[in-house]
Structure 1
């Protein structure tokens, strides 16, 4: 439409010109102004990690970010970073306003202090539904557990800088920390930990990635604690945060977020069979008072499947 308008403007200018050369000059002027007059895209850079190439867990936040920006009505365009980055660096880069504009991660007080959260759980809180990864030879032991305290007396493993680590400690669980993600699978294999709590959205992919190891999902139990996964931007990026929030709310209302969510996670949710597991609900004392826990429409429910 903009090109058509400018073309018609040039014609009108040309008709008013006394000689043909003036019409030609008008056309040249209009064409030269096109780059300045067009509504150029504002690039929003998100973190790309090499592991995303073979791990579909990273595809959903990217697709949702693009959907939210499209629905926002603003002229933003999401693009990946040029280099792969670990999570600790992505948080720092967004905070400093260098290389990255947006990141998604599980929230905690420090992250909400340093960055600006968009307080809509992009995974509907599914990250907080934790199945237990165990060695196959311990399946019967876990099947025989009858009380939460029996599970607390066994040893879990978590990343030392993950928000989950202090949450489990606050709920009186025995937890061994590790500075290495892959190191946790090695700890489980060697029996240094009894189980490794993993999100419903993670555990199936991780079982496949470690198929050479004799791991299983423990029967009967699932841990749950509110663990919002938010988009975060730099503190002063108010316009971008507002656009992402607006786009997410529109996508929720028109059903497009639901469609995307179920396409990505519907099968693993069904396979987890959460409705028939014993749910051990834990407190998350590290949530901000601004966490929208009262808005049930934002959170996953096993009873509803969404």
Structure 2
């Protein structure tokens, strides 16, 4: 028979365990995700595994999500966070969240995404994602080195994923784009001369650099920093359950900010990115 006793009052609990659980309850202690020692049933959260299966691509977002959930966990409401069983592109992940099959996804804001999902109104990258560097072929470096104005970039073809919000932005501003559905295909397309540059957030430059061993023709342009208004957000479903998840995430993110943990996470994951953006010639694409 189900007991209605609080965990710290249940028969069989040692006096020391009762004291510890009572102290944790009164203090609102943080609950490690997936630790099933509390009275409450864990709330299950799932996060989309990237299409290529490389979890490091979403390492910051996953760590931030985990920390935000931990910041709002209580003895009667623990959380269990895991990756989705299947890999998927962001476009499918958004649909899975809308259907209630996944709990949350990070995405850039577009009218379509905001109509489909509930945005958690807290910017994740604090403006760093708006700073972009260019990957190109060695032969194009001299041409890029003399650029000073936005209009001059229209002579170059930008390689983009079809699902990227950058694709629409670039097209609306009159830039040339070469579209692919594959992340690795971006680099193949650039190496083969079917595009001229890939615009990459300073946040992801280190991850991209790790892939360049297979593309010796490519290198980073060292002088330019493109700025474009772009910020990732967490999104949940628009259902009542999704609304509750969004509210919980917002509380957790604000708690991390107050306690300085958000700044610590940014420093942990993005210290190299912050250095990369310094001492470059800026071109505003907004």
Is 2:46 aligned against 1:41? Answer: no
Residues of 2 paired with 1:176 and 1:209: CA distance? 20
For the residue of structure 2 that corresponds to 1:276, the secondary structure is coil
Equivalent position of 2:205 in the other structure: 203
Match of 1:282 among 276, 281, 285: 285
> What secondary structure is seen at the aligned counterpart in 1 of 2:57?
helix
| Greater Rg by CA | 1
Q: How many residues align?
A: 255
Shift of 1:104: 1.1
1:119-198 alignment runs, 5 A limit: 119-198=121-200
Match status 1:65 vs 2:68: no
Alignment check: 8 A CA contact 1:252 1:258 kept: yes
Aligned with 1:80 (options 72, 79, 83): 83
Asked if the contact 2:108/2:165 (under 8 Å) is kept, the reply is yes
Contact 1:207 / 1:215 at 8 angstroms: preserved in 2? no
Cα offset, 1:191, TM superposition: 1.5
Unpaired runs of 5+ in structure 2? 14-35
Instruction: Name the residue aligned to 2:17.
Output: none
SS in 2 for 1:7: coil
Query: What residue number does 1:24 align with?
Result: none
The answer on 1:242 being equivalent to 2:243 is no
Say which of 211, 214, 219 aligns to 1:216.
Answer: 219
Within 2, Cα distance between the matches of 1:259 and 1:78? 21
Structure with the higher fraction of residues in helix conformation: 1
Q: 1:243/1:160 Cα in 2 relative to 1: closer, same or farther (>3 Å)? A: same
- Paired with 1:57 and 1:258, the residues of 2 have a C-alpha distance of 20
Q: Which runs of 5+ in 1 are unaligned?
A: 10-34, 284-306
User: Is the contact made by 2:91 and 2:163 (CA closer than 8 Å) also made in structure 1?
Assistant: no
CA RMSD of aligned residues (A): 2.5
> 1:294 aligns to what?
none
Structure 1's 120 and 52: CA in aligned 2 closer, same or farther, altered over 3 A? farther
Q: Matches of 1:255 and 1:38 in 2, distance apart?
A: 30
Matches within 5 A, 1:230-269: 230-236=233-239, 237-269=242-274
TM-score (norm 1): 0.76
SS in 1 for 2:213: coil
- Range with greater deviation from structure 2 (142-151 or 107-116): 142-151
The alpha-carbon deviation at position 2 of structure 1 amounts to: 4.3
